[in-house]
Chains A and B, each alone.
Chain A
Amino acid sequence: MNDMRRIERATDMKETKISARHVNVHYGDTHAIKDVSVEIQDKTVTAFIGPSGCGKSTFLRCINRMNDTIDIARIDGDIRIDGEDIYDPKVDPVQLRAKVGMVFQKPNPFPKSIFDNVAYGPRIHGLARTKAELDEIVEKSLRRAAIWDEVKDRLQQPGTGLSGGQQQRLCIARAVATEPEVLLMDEPCSALDPIATAQVEELIDELKQNYSVVIVTHSMQQAARVSQKTAFFHLGTLVEYGETGDIFTKPEDSRTESYITGRIG
């Protein structure tokens, strides 16, 4: 199946959704991201891999300006989504984040009901005019996140009462409810057991039909399973970026090869 998918990928040339050029990030005195440039395609799953502390999560958080919430972070360079510079002073990060959703490492449902968790985004962005519309959005999002059947009878119960895998899928439903164009996922399966991981991975594969998905992962197997493009980060630099199949079978850089074969990381 993997082979088949690789063929499919190669033939499928898509337009660029996100383009980053010469991005540098400093946390206080630490130079966390060093001159990273990358083009991320629409309707594709792109995986960021690399050893811990290599800057892959930091870079991911630049794409929806989550680093703005950290006082000591400083970002230079230029990141464009659909050709618009997201660090332009005129851009409101709130609007940007509605367009670029995010799913986090640890499932973080709000201490509210399942319904309110999913309805939170649509409510703050005003996506529903009536209760019926809101109900519809919530149902659609939960269906997309493949959790509707499990929770449809207990929408008013707290989201924190679900199992880990369900919580993470709830968070994905919450993210897709605002109808983003890009979905960033920061190690979405690291806190989940293998069964839940399989469910989420299946979901990611579905999601790429509508979104540009960027996933940070620790697991190379996961990157190989779900992504079409892979970027390898090491010590804050982007070492190699290309088709997932190429990266795993014939890496150009020796560091990538060392990582893939388990010598560093």
Chain B
Amino acid sequence: MTAVPLLWLILIVLALAAVGYVAGRSRAMASAGGNSRALHSLPGYYGYNVALTVLTPAFGLLALWLLIQPVWIDMRVSALLPDSAIADSSTRDLVMSDVRRVAEGLQILGAEGAPDVVDTSFLEGLRDRLGNVGVALGSEIDAAVYRAALSYQDMTRVGTGLMWAAVLLAAVGGFALSYMVTNKDFRARNTVERGILIVLIGAASIAILTTLGIVLSMLFETRNFFADYPWQEFFFGTNWAPDFRGNSELAILPLLWGTLYISLVALIVAVPIGLFAAIYLSEYASNRVRAVAKPAIEILAGIPTIVYGLFALITIGPMLRDYFALPLGLGESSSSVATAGLVMGIMLIPFVSSLSDDIINSVPQSLRDGSYGLGATQSETIRQVVMPAALPGIVGAILLAASRAIGETMIVVLGAGAAAAQFNRGLGELVNPFEAMTTVTVKIVSQLTGDTDFASPETLVAFALGLTLFVITLGLNVLALWIVRRYREQYE
């Protein structure tokens, strides 16, 4: 909608920058009498200096404006809406989204269909006309909403006009300023390099912004959730039974139980296989075996989790059910803890093995020599010297694998089932690996996909679950990285 005219603004600023490059360059050359050796910097730097002074403030302003304008207009328009315009079943946020859509529709319809004074028949007609241009509205348009939409539209128009003016002014101003300072003694290279350095720092800071974005977005919605739902119930309740009609029980414990149980099964599969595979490949295997087996195991790491999920759903699940669960009388579901755990274990094998491989290889050869020199066999050396020496690193690797298992989504969505663990049905069912069980990640997906209403605790609980997941995995990662780093330092 606004993308195309915005593109024009961006193109104009870019063109101005290009002109600035040429102008700055030739002005510098002129001031040096055409002799580039008399310049402080290479002529191109004078050009870049002008171009950057055009671009940076203009785009900075543009980005800021685009971020702030919608929020500011929303606040203003929201204040215009009388309380009477908000039906009992609705919220101010929902009405505001109607306002935005009406405004958007009016924009598409063009100016001719927007009289200031309105009657009911006009509003009814408007809904149909909006429907025709693809803006479907759930209910009749309220007169107050219509008026709000009109002022929304006005403000947006004025705001966008101002934005154009301000951005262009910034660009032209930057141009003029930097063009003026351009002369042969100006330290263009240093200025440009300082500018580039700032850009580089900005790029590096995106990592911090991302983390901040993750934490803030989840904290904000989690706070909303706890405003509606007692936190004691969330953390210490024992039942997960969401009900979109209200009266949900939203306790995390049953989900955590499923998450941890499945992760445990996955680690029981992945750790011995991954560790022994790493030992075999780094200490025993011939070059030929290594050349085949190592890439094969690494391929496992490159396979997307959705593939593992499908594998669990169509192959492993039915297999475990038909050959184990049914004959043993332990269950009849093909989605189960065992299914998800086994497949997740396969996914984690390369993760454990490549980390262990690194760690085993970082145990100094001198320790192995010392052990061989005493007449130890290779396995004695590995078990009694290499492993104890590598232990902290391997523990770190296992923690990282655990964090990955806890955060894994697709395998459990497709392989573990959707029913939360039931604490009141007794221990037998809780620990039966052939029972379907659900996890934190599965519930985040199911509460946030489909038609969601961001005011209900049933939806918002997903953010609380996400935050808990984030905190757990972050804790595990920090601990694991710390252990691994301490371990590395020991041998450096």
Which A residues touch B32, using CB under 8 A? none
Task: Return the contact of A110 from the options B287, B371, B372, B375 (Cβ within 8 A).
Answer: B371
State whether the Cβ of B388 lies closer than 8 Å to any Cβ in chain A: yes
B376 in contact (CB, < 8 A): yes
Quick one: which of B287, B366, B389 contacts A104, CB cutoff 8 A?
B366
Check A108/B374 contact, CB under 8 A, given A120-B384, A124-B380.
no
Contact with B along A79-115 (1 / 0, CB 8 A): 0000000000000001111110111101011111000
A121: nearest residue on chain B (CB-CB)? Answer: B374
Q: Is B101 an interface residue (CB 8 A)?
A: no
Q: Is the CB of B385 closer than 8 A to any CB of chain A?
A: yes
The size bracket of the interface on A is 20 to 34
Q: Kindly provide the distance from the CB of B118 to the nearest chain A CB, expressed in whole angstroms.
A: 83
B369 — nearest CB in chain A belongs to which residue? A104
Interface residue B189 (Cβ < 8 Å from any Cβ of A):
no
Using Cβ atoms and an 8 Å threshold, which residues of chain A touch B372? 66, 69, 97
The answer to whether A110 touches B364, judged by C-beta atoms less than 8 angstroms apart, is no
A71 CA / B283 CA spacing, docked (Å): 11
Residue A152 at the chain B interface, CB threshold 8 Å: no
Whether A171 sits at the interface, judged by CB under 8 Å, is yes
Bound CA–CA A150/B206 (angstroms): 56
Contact check, A110 vs B370: say whether CB atoms are below 8 A apart: yes
Is the CB–CB distance between B374 and A178 below 8 Å? yes
Cβ-defined contact, B371 with A64, below 8 A: no
B389 close to A111 (CB less than 8 A): yes
Interface contact A108-B388, CB-CB below 8 Å: no
Q: How far is the CA of A97 from the CA of B372 in the complex (A)?
A: 7
Find chain B residues with CB under 8 A from A184 CB.
Answer: 373
Contact across chains for A64 and B373 when beta carbons are under 8 A apart: yes
Check A111/B375 contact, CB under 8 A, given A104-B369, A106-B366, A171-B370: no
Q: Which residues of A contact B377 (CB under 8 A)?
A: 94, 124
Q: Which of A95, A103, A111 has the most CB of B within 10 A?
A: A111
Q: Bound state CA distance, A254 and B341, in angstroms?
A: 73
Smallest Cβ-Cβ distance to B368: which chain A residue: A69
Contacting residues, chain B, for A96 (C-beta < 8 A): 375
The one of A71, A95, A101, A109 in contact with B374, judged by C-beta atoms closer than 8 angstroms, is: A101
A110, closest chain B residue (CB) = B385
A234 within 8 A of B: no
Contacts of B370 in A (CB 8 A): 104, 108-110, 171, 174
Tell me if B374 and A98 are in contact (CB < 8 A).
yes
Q: Is the CB of B369 within 8 A of A120?
A: no
Interchain nearest-CB distance for B90 vs A (Å):
67
Let me know if B368 and A95 touch, CB within 8 A: no
Among A216-243, those with CB < 8 Å from B are none
With A110-B385, A110-B389 as known contacts, state yes or no: A125 contacts B375, CB within 8 Å: yes
Q: Can you report 25 residue pairs joining A to B where beta carbons are below 8 Å apart?
A: A66-B369, A66-B373, A69-B372, A94-B376, A97-B372, A97-B373, A99-B375, A101-B373, A101-B374, A102-B369, A102-B374, A108-B367, A108-B369, A109-B370, A110-B370, A110-B371, A111-B367, A120-B376, A120-B385, A121-B375, A124-B374, A124-B380, A124-B384, A171-B370, A174-B374
Known A69-B372, A110-B385; 5 more pairs at CB < 8 Å: A66-B369, A96-B375, A97-B373, A110-B388, A121-B374
The 10 tightest CB contacts between A and B, nearest first, are A102-B373, A98-B375, A97-B375, A108-B366, A108-B370, A121-B374, A111-B389, A124-B376, A94-B377, A94-B375
